[in-house]
Amino acid sequence: MTVKMIAVDMDGTFLNEEKQYNKARFLKQYQQLQQRGIHFVVASGNQLSTLKNYFPEIAHQIAFVSENGAYVTDAEQEVSFAHFSHDLVDEMRTQISERYASALILCGKQGAYIGQAVPEQNLEKLNKYFKSLQRVDDLAQVQDQICKVTLNTSDYNFDVLYQDLEQLNCIANGSVKMVSSGFGFIDLIVPNRHKAHGLQLLQQRWKISNDQVLAIGDNYNDLEMVKQSGYGFAVANAVDELKQIADFVTAKDNQHEAVLDVIDLVLMRHAPFECQHKKSA
């Protein structure tokens, strides 16, 4: 078994329901990963500033594939940033605002933006996921480069909203990719700029092949990276679609340090991960 990169999703995977992890255990593991020359990558739908907040001790050293793959950095150096054209952002903002203005979040390189229609009671949830969040008078005046448009579905029927979005021209014609990232959020992202693409850019940078990558996640926005990786993991609490394409499913869930157990298996050079449940052939 040769693993040279470990890529982890955060919410529902690395983090527990309180959005925490066993930091003391992980930092000891991280030191060993460094000694072995194994790269640790955070691959999440969250914005970069939010992700860095979880790793204050090592954020300046590690790589992040944030915004569902749109923004890739390595040791605080920008590797790639994909964003929508100004006209496409205007089209999405205008059409979505007609019915779902209170759900709309524009995600850019400098931060995330909400309009006046977002209810005050929704801010507690949003502030957990967006550490750089601004309320503005007019979303049309936001000058940032927008790499993702997110909808918080808390106040709506998820399935109805999802079906409505599918009717948007930009989604129907493939200009925009829609994905559920879990926890009541729907993300509209730049096509083919998903987490797997972000990992590929880092792999090229570090000369790492797919079969040397271990990726672990829990939701629909993890499908590409788990399928692409030589060692694709789904945590026990993952959606069924991810479990079906993963090579391995952990015995534990995100509440019980499933990812840290997998890292231990790598460090102990267990192959082929005897303590995990192999996907049925």
Tens-digit pLDDT profile for residues 100-120:
999 999 999 999 999 999 999
Burial of 268 (0-12, 13-18, 19+ CB in 10 A): exposed
Q: Is residue 235 domain-shared with residue 274, that is, in the same domain?
A: yes
* Residue 271 binned pLDDT confidence (cut-offs 50, 70, 90): low
Nearest CA among 2, 59, 37, 30 for reference residue 214: 2
Q: Is residue 24 domain-shared with residue 60, that is, in the same domain?
A: yes
Q: Is residue 205 domain-shared with residue 220, that is, in the same domain?
A: yes
Minimum mean pLDDT among 37-41, 178-182, 189-193, 276-280: which range? 276-280
Q: Is residue 102 domain-shared with residue 179, that is, in the same domain?
A: yes
Domain that residue 149 falls in: 86-189
Q: For residue 224, what are the CA distances in angstroms to 69, 113, 158?
A: 11, 27, 23
Q: Is residue 41 domain-shared with residue 107, that is, in the same domain?
A: no
Q: Is residue 99 domain-shared with residue 175, that is, in the same domain?
A: yes
Q: What is the CATH number of the domain that holds 127?
A: 3.30.1240.10
Q: What is the CATH number of the domain that holds 47?
A: 3.40.50.1000
Task: Report the percentage of the chain scoring pLDDT > 70.
Answer: 95
User: Would residue 253 show up in a list of annotated catalytic residues for this protein?
Assistant: no
Asked whether the predicted pLDDT for residue 280 surpasses 60, the reply is: no
Q: Domain end: 147, 171, 189, which one?
A: 189
Q: Is residue 170 domain-shared with residue 102, that is, in the same domain?
A: yes
Tens-digit pLDDT profile for residues 165-193:
999 999 999 999 999 888 899 999 999 99
Q: Looking at residue 55, what is its pLDDT?
A: 98
Q: Is residue 58 domain-shared with residue 115, that is, in the same domain?
A: no
C-alpha triplet 263, 268, 270: angle, nearest 5°: 90
Asked whether the predicted pLDDT for residue 277 surpasses 70, the reply is: no
- Note if the pTM is more than 0.85: yes
Mean pLDDT of all residues in 200-226: 97
Q: Is residue 257 domain-shared with residue 207, that is, in the same domain?
A: yes
Q: Is residue 203 domain-shared with residue 225, that is, in the same domain?
A: yes
Mean pLDDT of all residues in 1-16: 95
Q: Is residue 222 domain-shared with residue 182, that is, in the same domain?
A: no
**Which one of the listed residues 9, 74, 187, 222 is annotated catalytic?**
9
The total domain count for the chain is: 2
